[in-house]
Every structure is written in structure tokens, then in C-alpha cells.
Amino acid sequence: MRKCAEAKAILVGLQLADWVGCTDVVVENDNESVIHAIKEGEAGNHSFQLLLEDIHFVQEPIYGAECFTYGLLARHRCLLESSSQLRVTFLNLSDVPLQCDDLAQLLGNCLNLRRLWVLDTVGDKGLEAVGSSCPLLEELRVFPANPFDADVVYGVTESGLVSVSYGCPKLHYVLYFCRQMTDAVVATFAKNCPNFTHFRLCIMNPGEPDDLTDESVDEAFGSVVKSCKKLRRLVLSGLLTDLTFEYIGKYAKNLETLSVAFVGSSDLAMQCVLAGCPKLRRLEIRDCPFGNNALLSGLEKYESMRSLWMSTCNVTMNACRLLAKEMPRLRS
Ligand SMILES: *[C@@H]1O[C@H](CO)[C@@H](O)[C@H](O)[C@H]1NC(C)=O
Ligand SMILES: *[C@@H]1O[C@H](CO)[C@@H](O)[C@H](O)[C@H]1NC(C)=O
Ligand SMILES: *[C@@H]1O[C@H](CO)[C@@H](O)[C@H](O)[C@H]1NC(C)=O
Ligand SMILES: *[C@@H]1O[C@H](CO)[C@@H](O)[C@H](O)[C@H]1NC(C)=O
Ligand SMILES: *[C@@H]1O[C@H](CO)[C@@H](O)[C@H](O)[C@H]1NC(C)=O
């Protein structure tokens, strides 16, 4: 019962947002900010937020509701019955743990979506709904609802990513927190969406191998940098060897920002990236085995870079001092 109410409540909010002419919608659990946003909306701001705590009012007669939102709706009850397509282009549900059916119900009314943020509670089935309902989607972000809970059984996998890549050919930005991935799937994905600019794959368990072969996922990122020539931002995760970095150095000609954590096997990895990637501006490295040689191999490259961030790597204070002396402008 409660589940249905949730999708319905959000839909009401979306209809209201549509009615006041908003196309960007953030659904929040928090009270104050929502009321503030409603007032802002009234003042002409193009952001609109729906108060989830009012969910139970939705099943009540609308005119009984206390909240400003529903007061407005009371005057426009027809909105609830209408099933017309909404104009919303950005829907941010990253604060709302929706199940797949709820998401599917919502998306049926949102064929114009360009950007969608959701929690991984929607599961692969929820992402199938995205693939079949959002032909214009350009950006998808899937966040973990419980990132630190290893026992959680829901979440999204490679299968959700594939559904989206088939249904959303305009997709070019993905942030994807998942529990497992395979090379083959990422290759399919990269082939289906060659215009990718941002690929941020976060396999939550550090060093997680390919789910099918139990080997590294080097070829996954290899296929991304080979197929997606416009790639500007890349986040790496999973079990990776230096081979991934060789691919990146060789093929990622437009890469501007690279973030890595818990990956790589030697200094060679970082050296490959620093020797290739002509447009690299930012490099963020955490918990990798890279040492002084890797760090200092980039002295020339750093001339054209804006920031270098290394944490829990194998570099010494002396190397950092040397770098700071050589490159006073680099923020590191
Ligand atoms: C949320 O809003 C309701 C109605 O405006 C109010 O009674 C309640 O105290 C608010 N809750 C919080 C946590 O602010
Ligand atoms: C819109 O929101 C921004 C940020 O909250 C605020 O600075 C601005 O004054 C608002 N504009 C209107 C017309 O309310
Ligand atoms: C999306 O929603 C989350 C949670 O409410 C919020 O922190 C974030 O700033 C929102 N992002 C955008 C671009 O609206
Ligand atoms: C990729 O971008 C090019 C040029 O903007 C466009 O012609 C092509 O249709 C796009 N491909 C896909 C699959 O959207
Ligand atoms: C860290 O660097 C030192 C030399 O700088 C090297 O002897 C050691 O093996 C490195 N450790 C790791 C884990 O790479």
C-alpha cells in the first residue's frame, strides 16, 4: 500500500511541477528545504521539490491536506487524473529509495527525461524501465542506498547497464555504483553508446574481478577508451592491472579527469597515463601502489595539468617536496 502511495505521491508532485512550468525536479525526504523550495518556486525559480513526508495525504481527499503543495493541488484536482506526458527533463530521486515498480510507474509519464538520478534500490528491473521509457536520456546516475552494508541483496549489476544502453542511445554520462561487472557487458555498452563523455563506474567492493571469468576487468575499460573517443572523465574500479592504464594512455586522447582507487600493480600504470592522455588536467589517485618513480615521471606533464591528488600511495615526503619545488603552480 505504502509503495503505491509513494509513486503516486511523487507523480502528483511532478504534475504540479509541470503545471508551474518546472522541468528540473528534486524529490527530497527533508521538510524545511522543500518548503523553502516551494516558496522559491512561487517566486519564479525553476527548481521545485516535493515533500515526501506528505505521502499519506495523497490517498486522502486532496482538499484535506494541510501542506501548501496540496493546497495548490486542491484547486487543480484534474491534474491527478490526467495521464498526459510531463515535460520534466531532470528528475532527481537520489534521496528516495524507490522499488522498481514505483520507478516504472513514474517513468511511464516522463518520456522527456534527459537526466535521471536514482538509488540502486530500483534494481536491474528498474533500469529496464529506464531503457524502455526514456529514449532521450543523456545522463544516468545510480547511487548506493546502503554503500557500507555488505549483506544487502538488492542493487544493480551489469544487466541494468545493458538495458539502459539499448534503450537510451543518447546516453553520454553515467555514474554507476554496482556490485559486479563483466568485460563483455561494458564492451557492449561502449559499442551502443559511442558518444560517451563521462564514464564513472564504481564497483563497490575494491578489487572485484569480472563476474563471469573471475579475472581482471582490464578489457572493460579498454573497450570504453577504444570506442568512446569523446571521453573526458573516467573513474576506474574493480580488479585492474597495468594493462588498463596502457589502454588509457594509448587511446584516451580527450581524457581530462581520471580518478582511480585500489587499482594498478606497479609504477608503470601511472607512467603510461602520464606519457599518454594529452588533455589530462586532473588526476586523483587513492590507495594505489604507485611510488616516487611514478610521481616524478610526470614532471613534464604537470606543466599542463591543474591538479594532482594522491592519497595512501607509496610516495615519500621527499618526492613531494621535490615536486613542489619543480612545480610551484600545481595544486597537489
Ligand atoms: C515537517 O512539516 C510538518 C508540517 O509542516 C511539521 O509539522 C513537522 O514538524 C515537520 N518536520 C520536521 C522534521 O521539520
Ligand atoms: C533562485 O534561487 C537562488 C538560489 O537559491 C537564489 O539565489 C535566487 O534569488 C532565487 N531566485 C528567485 C527569483 O527566487
Ligand atoms: C539531487 O538530490 C540530492 C539529494 O536530495 C541533492 O543532494 C543533490 O544536490 C541533488 N542534485 C541536483 C543536481 O539537483
Ligand atoms: C554520436 O555523435 C555524432 C555526432 O554528434 C552523431 O552523428 C551520432 O548520431 C551520435 N551517435 C549516437 C549513437 O548517438
Ligand atoms: C614502496 O616503495 C619502495 C621504494 O620506494 C619499494 O621498495 C616498495 O616495494 C614499495 N611498496 C609497494 C607496496 O609498492
Averaged pLDDT, 53-70: 35
Indicate if the pLDDT at residue 140 is higher than 90: yes
Number of separate helices (H) and strands (E) present in the chain: 15, 11
Q: In the CATH scheme, what is the code of domain 88-326?
A: 3.80.10.10
Indicate if the pLDDT at residue 276 is higher than 60: yes
Q: What is the DSSP string of 158-216?
A: HHHHHHHHHH-TT--EEEEEES---HHHHHHHHHH-TT-SEEEEEESSTTPPPTTTSS-
Indicate if the pLDDT at residue 194 is higher than 50: yes
Q: Which ligand is nearest to the CA of 292?
A: 5
Residues 89, 112 contacting (CB under 8 angstroms): yes
| pLDDT for position 45 | 52
Averaged pLDDT, 120-124: 94
**Distance from Cα 162 to the centre of ligand 4, integer Å:** 19
Instruction: Please give the Cα distance from 253 to 273 (Å, whole number).
Output: 11
Protein residue with its CA nearest to atom 10 in ligand 5: 314
Q: How many Å from the N-terminal Cα to the C-terminal Cα in the chain?
A: 52
Averaged pLDDT, 164-179: 93
Q: Which ligand is nearest to the CA of 45?
A: 2
Q: Which ligand is nearest to the CA of 294?
A: 5
Instruction: Please give the Cα distance from 258 to 318 (Å, whole number).
Output: 25
With cut-offs at 50, 70 and 90, classify the pLDDT of residue 6: low
Averaged pLDDT, 165-193: 91
pTM of the model: 0.79
Indicate if the pLDDT at residue 22 is higher than 60: yes
Tell whether ligand 4 has an atom less than 6 A from the beta carbon of residue 332.
Answer: no
What number of other Cβ atoms are within 10 A of residue 292's Cβ?
Answer: 17
Indicate if the pLDDT at residue 130 is higher than 80: yes
Between 115 and 332, residue with greater pLDDT: 115
Where does 62-143 have alpha helices with state H?
A: 68-74, 78-81, 100-107, 123-133
Tell whether ligand 5 has an atom less than 6 A from the beta carbon of residue 287.
Answer: no
Q: What is the DSSP letter of 84?
A: P
| pLDDT for position 79 | 46
The three grid cell numbers given for residue 294, joined into one nine-digit string: 611514478
**Distance from Cα 259 to the centre of ligand 3, integer Å:** 22
With cut-offs at 50, 70 and 90, classify the pLDDT of residue 57: very low
Ligand 4 pocket test: which of 166, 195, 254 has the largest number of ligand atoms within 8 Å of its C-beta? 195
Between 149 and 258, residue with greater pLDDT: 258
**Distance from Cα 196 to the centre of ligand 4, integer Å:** 10
What mean pLDDT value characterizes the chain?
A: 80
| pLDDT for position 75 | 38
Averaged pLDDT, 193-197: 92
Which part of the chain has CATH 3.80.10.10?
88-326
Q: Which ligand is nearest to the CA of 35?
A: 1
Indicate if the pLDDT at residue 179 is higher than 90: no
**Distance from Cα 94 to the centre of ligand 3, integer Å:** 7
Tell whether ligand 5 has an atom less than 6 A from the beta carbon of residue 313.
Answer: no
Query: Which numbered atom of ligand 5 lies nearest the CA of 293?
Result: 5
| Angle in degrees, 0-180, between the axes of helices 267-275 and 242-251, rounded to the nearest 10 | 0
Tell whether ligand 5 has an atom less than 6 A from the beta carbon of residue 266.
Answer: no
Indicate if the pLDDT at residue 44 is higher than 60: no
56-65, 168-177, 286-295: which has the highest mean pLDDT? 168-177
Instruction: Please give the Cα distance from 284 to 331 (Å, whole number).
Output: 12
For 122-160, b/e burial (b = at least 16 CB within 10 A) is: bbbbbbbbbbbbbeebbbbbbbbbeeeeeeeebbbbbbb
Averaged pLDDT, 280-309: 88
Adjacent-strand bridge partners of 140: 116, 174
**Distance from Cα 314 to the centre of ligand 5, integer Å:** 6
Averaged pLDDT, 257-261: 93
